[in-house]
Amino acid sequence: MIVGLLIFGVMSNLALQWVKTVHISVGSGFTQPSITTYAIGRHGMYEELSYNVLNAQYATSFPDDTIQTGPAVVRVNLQVANKTTDQVSVIYYDVARLIVPGVVKPVAPTNVHLSTGPKPGASEVGWIDFPVSKGVTLSALKLRLGSQLLNEATLVIPFTGAYDPNHFAPKTYPQTLTIYYDFGGNTLVYHLTSVNVLYAYKGTQAQIGQQFYVFNFSVDNNNGMMVSPGYGFDYIRLNIYGYDTPPVDNTLPHGFNAGAQGVKGRVVYKGPAGLTTLNFAFRIQFTPGEIPYTVYLS
């Protein structure tokens, strides 16, 4: 019995010394795969938001993206700015697509690290992840923004090659037209100061082949009484291919106070893209007829 105890003690001591020599590594065991980064630095406009594609990255996985459906991931890093006074909402899972050569269907995102839209006057930086096959070439890819379901005019930013960053940029055409509009025997003076041509208005992207035409007015009421012709919806029309088209938006007031000067407002229409001559009319109220006008965008 004594001999057995001695043998047990010796074996225990040897086992303890062996355990001390074993190194146990504690952790997840995750090693970040290598990341390839391709600088882009291209910008474009969609839904009145300014998009700056900073770069694209390729890896078999990213540690902060737990949603992965393909053998590799392309991450597009973006800066998004809202330079308007409107709140704009973008559902990236619906409108963002990655165009990959050799892949028939544009690739939808699996994960988005951007808000649905920066607040007016604010900007943000984030990313959109797309599942891809291994070995894609970053320089051959394109980012597309636009709803196919809504037939929107889509912004496509190729990561390399020919590209026009100003295609969707707003354009302003100064005007000097003065309109004397009689309402109930009282004349209002409308000064058309400019026309804006836009691909998006108040966060709504124009459809393919369409644009927004914004007439900016300054109105004087030189009468000694308030004159109320109604809102711009009621009496100003854009003539498109022989048909009078009502506005889609208006900020002209219903009435103009006595002696009011320089009252500003806009009347917004949607029409075919690329119009360079705009025919519009002020309707004569209470009796049939209208007074036509023409402006040129050049």
Q: In this structure, how many other beta carbons lie within 10 angstroms of the beta carbon of residue 26? A: 5
| Rounded CA separation 282/284 (Å) | 7
Whether 142 and 96 have beta carbons less than 8 Å apart is answered as: no
CA dihedral angle for residue 10, residue 14, residue 17, residue 22, rounded to 10 degrees: -150
Which residues in the chain are classed under CATH 2.60.40.4170?
Answer: 36-158, 171-296
Contact 129, 109 (CB under 8 A): yes
Q: What is the CA radius of gyration of the chain?
A: 32
Task: Select 171-296's CATH number: 2.60.40.4170, 3.20.20.150, 3.50.50.60, 3.40.50.300.
Answer: 2.60.40.4170
Task: Report the amino acid identity of residue 89.
Answer: S
> Whose CA is closest to 71, among 135, 27, 12, 13?
135
Cβ atoms of 76 and 143 within 8 Å: the answer is yes
For every one of its 298 residues, what pLDDT tens digit does the chain have, with 9 covering 90 and above? 343 433 444 344 434 343 333 333 334 445 678 999 999 999 999 999 999 999 999 999 998 887 878 899 999 999 999 999 999 999 999 999 999 999 999 999 999 999 999 999 999 999 999 999 999 999 999 999 999 999 999 999 999 999 999 999 999 999 999 999 999 999 999 999 999 999 999 999 999 999 999 999 999 999 999 999 999 999 999 999 999 999 999 999 999 999 999 999 999 999 999 999 999 999 999 899 999 999 999 8
The full DSSP string for 162-198 is ---TTTTS-EEEEEEEEEEEEETTEEEEEEEEEEEEE
Residue 76 is predicted with a pLDDT of 98
d(CA 96, CA 130): 10
Tokens matching residue 53: 């594609």
Please report which residue ranges of the chain form alpha helices under DSSP H.
2-21, 92-95, 232-235
CA–CA separation, 267 and 190 (whole Å): 12
- At residue 44, the 3 state secondary structure works out as strand
Q: Which fold is adopted by the domain 36-158?
A: Immunoglobulin-like (2.60.40)
pLDDT of residue 183: 96
- CA-nearest of 151, 160, 293, 274 to 215 is 293
Among 79, 44, 291, residue whose Cα is nearest residue 170: 44
CB 48, CB 204: distance < 8 Å: no
The helix (run of H) or strand (run of E) holding residue 137 is: none
0.95 exceeded by pTM: no
Taking alpha carbons only, the member of 170, 82, 78, 169 closest to residue 121 is 82
